[in-house]
Amino acid sequence: MPALVRLAAAETKLFFREPIVVFFALAFSPILFGVLGLIPALREPGPDGVRMISRYLPVVVAMGVALFSLSGLSQLFASYREKGVLRRMRLTPVKPTVMLGAQLLMAVVLSAASTLVIVVTGRLAFDVGLPRQLSAYVLSFALLALALFAIGLLVAALAPSAKSASAVGSLVFFPLVFFAGLWVPRASMNQVLLTISDLTPLGAGVQALQDTASGNWPQLLHLGVMLGWLVAAGGLAARYFRWE
């Protein structure tokens, strides 16, 4: 465990040397949420008494994690292979699983910090209520983040270069955020789209966050979907990871 933590700390320092990646991974989603909150129509209660800004908070959180995973982590990790960093690390005692674990730990901690900024901004600036089931909210976020970062590491494990990782990440990112409800809210989706959304990590994650924010526990289906994506993508990432 100490080796994992030390490697994660070193990877965090390297991560902050890439300002563009840092901006889109950590700062973009809080800024986007702030912009959405300034739109008067989104602050008005809907027919059910719930304001759209409250509905968009978990969507923006999920989108931010997906952006970090598929446009930040996967591209950065693939660039290590392209630049020969991983080839040199092959000569050290570091095991591939430890390297992947360090990347996962770094990404989850940083995305949690970004999410905290969004939640605090929502509360202080737009009077969005704090999650009523805090422990369940943390669990849902952790599963969402782990599942998405496992997918990002899978992309990085298979991509030979940063450009190819960026291209594949973009192809995966946009369908995921669509089914998360960024353009069409989940409440407005027909049954077919909603079923597909429930089986995606972002769709399941957004609904779990919405449920826990309103005081309910997440459905087992959504927790199971996120856990399934984590196990499948994480296992494949470890299986197909290569140093060069």
Residues 30 and 121: their CA atoms lie apart, in Å, by: 8
Q: Supply 19's token pair.
A: 């300002």
Summarize pLDDT for 89-143 with one digit per residue, the tens: 777 777 777 888 888 899 999 999 999 999 999 999 999 999 999 999 999 999 9
- In one-letter notation, the amino acid at residue 82 is E
- In one-letter notation, the amino acid at residue 230 is L
pLDDT of residue 209: 97
Higher per-residue pLDDT: 220 or 50:
220
pLDDT of residue 89: 75
- Using DSSP's 3-state secondary structure scheme, residue 51 falls into strand
Summarize pLDDT for 154-209 with one digit per residue, the tens: 998 888 888 898 899 999 999 999 999 988 888 889 999 999 999 999 999 999 99
Number of residues that this document lists for the chain: 244
pLDDT of residue 1: 57
pLDDT of residue 94: 75
- Mean confidence (pLDDT) of the chain: 90
Listed by start position, the domains of the chain span: 2-240
Summarize pLDDT for 6-64 with one digit per residue, the tens: 889 988 998 898 888 889 889 999 999 999 999 999 998 887 778 999 999 999 999 99
Residues 148 and 201: their CA atoms lie apart, in Å, by: 7
pLDDT of residue 124: 95
Q: What is the pTM of this model?
A: 0.92
| CA 176, chain centre distance (Å) | 11
Asked if residue 155 lies in contact with residue 64, where contact means CB atoms within 8 angstroms, the answer is no
- Residue 93 phi/psi, 5-degree rounding, is -75, 0
Least confident of 62-71, 158-167, 230-239: 158-167
Residues 139 and 155: their CA atoms lie apart, in Å, by: 24
Q: How far from each other are the two terminal CA atoms of the chain, in whole angstroms?
A: 25
pLDDT of residue 244: 66
Residues 80 and 209: their CA atoms lie apart, in Å, by: 33
